Structure 1
């Protein structure tokens, strides 16, 4: 059906008014957009990157991130794009944005698997998962790091371990080795926490399995003494006297006069495993 504007003159006037208003809005919008022009438009990759480095030196993480992302977006090929990803990971880590930092590292590893900076990115990835933001509060809460979810600890261990194996001569390897020593002990201690949890709730088979993991997978860690004691107690509760005696014999051979016979499972005082005190 055809629409005859002559039959509705008021509608025609309304249409003209609406079009005029739309034109005004568009002109105002263009003026607004023009007023918000990116001050870095036309900058070279070098200028963007050097400006980002200046912001990093000043600790202006937000502005540094904006410049680095601009380098990656506008100049995706070449050395500045590669370096911008490395610096994005660092800036996001310093700005308490671990997920964004890890995302930058993942992009870097996928795009530049053989880059000379790979050892640093592995080291940084280990640091990010080694000390999540909540870890900075452990000195106030007195929470043992081994009592937290071990997922981040294991991811940190994997990153540092890969660094040690692939880049034994890297400047970051010596520190990574110290952190791996701490991580092994802490992950083992987490297993013992779980074993004790099961034991205290009467799940003796589960307690034995978790404690046995410490003996087989984390040889030489101090917490193995407690793991063996939990195994000994659990077999005793199950009435498996022969296995109980075997566990006791191993415990006595490796830890003569074990303190756990006298004090039980509860540890007096705090733990020395807090990474804040180590690094």
Structure 2
């Protein structure tokens, strides 16, 4: 027998989930049966900032990222001067990052840092900004401004919040971004080298050696300097570049190739202490 006043089982599940949000966080798993429905939709968005914030977290935990963002945005609109507005702003930065909306994440994170630079979540906001820039880094064949921005943002994490849990990953992202910048310099340098524009090529390889000595591009940069100086007939600089390469990376294939190139003209690696390459070589890992 059917009764008009009885709702179906699915609706009862949703109603029960809403009732349990404030008392039993573990009940969220029962609320994930319908991915298209906001698990807190039966509660008006004119609720208190605390309720809206908890609803945002509940939606986020349930994988409903868009709904979570809507709840956090509602706090910013309706309760802009509350403590939960501060918390919602940094959560919106995180949600935007999760959604792949990197510019929105950067905007929200930067706004948070401008408003609450000394708060407990400032390190996290700065970290989110860095992550968003890192996600924008393209291949080395393209413009690397995002890599430079990543280094700047993540260096702020390291410098301003040295005791935060985000420092280790920030340093990893910095290394990756520096590798990208060095890789871009190498790409341009190889372009000039292939066209026998040796001075332009040397400028690019020198940038890698002097500015990015700890990157994964350094061995090739030194080998390319050997090649470029050798082609120009400046044997002392070619020999110095090979000597620095051999001292720091004796088992490198780049060193083996450079040594072979010098030997073809009866030369061998020999360091000139007055060369810029010798001075820069002292900053390398194996120096």
In structure 2, what is the equivalent of residue 230 of structure 1? 224
Cα pair 2:113 2:126 within 8 Å, conserved: no
Cα pair 1:214 1:227 within 8 Å, conserved: yes
In structure 1, what is the equivalent of residue 26 of structure 2? none
Query: What whole-Å deviation, never above 9, does each CA across 1:163-198 have from its counterpart, x for those lacking one?
Result: 111111111112222333333334323322221122
Find the partner of 1:86 among 75, 87, 90. Answer: 90
Cα pair 2:130 2:153 within 8 Å, conserved: yes
In structure 1, what is the equivalent of residue 206 of structure 2? 212
Q: CA RMSD in A?
A: 2.5
Cα pair 2:133 2:149 within 8 Å, conserved: yes
Tell me which moved more, 212-221 or 112-121.
212-221
Find the partner of 1:243 among 229, 234, 237. Answer: 237
Cα pair 1:40 1:48 within 8 Å, conserved: no
Find the partner of 1:181 among 164, 175, 182. Answer: 175
In structure 2, what is the equivalent of residue 13 of structure 1? none
Cα pair 2:92 2:105 within 8 Å, conserved: yes
Residues in 1 aligned to 2:90 and 2:172: alpha-carbon distance in whole angstroms: 24
Displacement of 1:148 in angstroms is: 4.3
Cα pair 2:65 2:99 within 8 Å, conserved: yes
Q: Give the direction of change, closer, same or farther, for the CA distance of 1:61–1:41 in structure 2 (3 Å limit).
A: closer
Residues in 2 aligned to 1:75 and 1:245: alpha-carbon distance in whole angstroms: 68
Gaps of 5+ in 2: 1-41, 259-287
Aligned length: 217
In structure 2, what is the equivalent of residue 99 of structure 1? 103
Please tell me whether Structure 1 or Structure 2 has the larger radius of gyration of its CA atoms: 1
Q: As a proportion of its length, which structure holds more helix?
A: 1
Residues in 2 aligned to 1:206 and 1:229: alpha-carbon distance in whole angstroms: 16
Cα pair 2:193 2:228 within 8 Å, conserved: yes
Displacement of 1:39 in angstroms is: 7.1
Cα pair 2:45 2:74 within 8 Å, conserved: no
Matches within 5 A, 1:76-225: 76-132=80-136, 145-225=139-219
Displacement of 1:117 in angstroms is: 0.6
Cα pair 1:52 1:63 within 8 Å, conserved: yes
In structure 2, what is the equivalent of residue 12 of structure 1? none
Displacement of 1:54 in angstroms is: 1.4
Give the number of the structure with larger relative contact order, counting CA–CA contacts within 8 Å between residues 6 or more apart: 1
TM-score (norm 2): 0.68
**What SS does structure 2 have at the residue aligned with 1:96?**
coil
Q: Give the direction of change, closer, same or farther, for the CA distance of 1:178–1:209 in structure 2 (3 Å limit).
A: same
TM-score (norm 1): 0.69
Gaps of 5+ in 1: 1-37, 136-144, 265-279
Cα pair 2:245 2:255 within 8 Å, conserved: no
Displacement of 1:262 in angstroms is: 5.8
Q: Give the direction of change, closer, same or farther, for the CA distance of 1:164–1:257 in structure 2 (3 Å limit).
A: closer
